[in-house]
Amino acid sequence: MLQVEDWGCIPYEEAWNRQKQLLARVLRKEAPNTLVLCEHPTVITIGRSGTWRHIVLPLPQLHERGIPVFEVERGGDVTLHNPGQLVGYPIIRLSDYREDVHWFVRELEQCIIELLADFDIAAHRIPGLTGVWVSGERKICAIGLHLTRWVSWHGFALNVNNRLEEFSYIVPCGIADRGVTSMSQELQREVPMEEVKKRCITIFRAHFL
């Protein structure tokens, strides 16, 4: 069974280092396939295909607000994490399932689509754009991965109750002509994070037996 670890609200850099440690253990088969769930204080990360030009707020203002920026290994462009967003790091040996990164990304998207359906939110994919979308225009979940010898790390960021106005600090995922949304914005109510986590765990365990 897929192991789950809940790291709570943890600074991004600390979680990044803990991911690396867990990755090494999974690579050596000293730890099982693991889904990490957490939240982060506001932080901006730049993926391998990203550019600093997609950070809109000047660095001095980011520093004033205590918002760090990290260049990381994952695929994708610029993204933002903040409290109320559910971040998931699936540290999984694809060799146990299928050595196909495109298949794995589609599986992650499907997990999130099923999770959102449980909360009566209709979500879908857009061909050519990684992630999960609502009404074709608004991104509700970003996905960015890195693989090390067919073990995945980094992962997904699902907007649950987080402050969407902070996304104005960046061009999310480098896509300027589409917006972002959250579960609470779509439902017009606060969504209990523990309920979201429980459904997330159930669905991921069904997909990654």
Q: Which residues are marked as active site?
A: 173
The whole-angstrom separation of Cα 164 and Cα 80 is 10
Please name the residues in contact with 206: beta carbons below 8 A apart, sequence gap of 6 or more.
none
Residue with token string 């991911």: 19
d(C-alpha 169, C-alpha 46), whole Å = 13
Cβ within 8 Å of residue 25, ≥6 positions away: 31
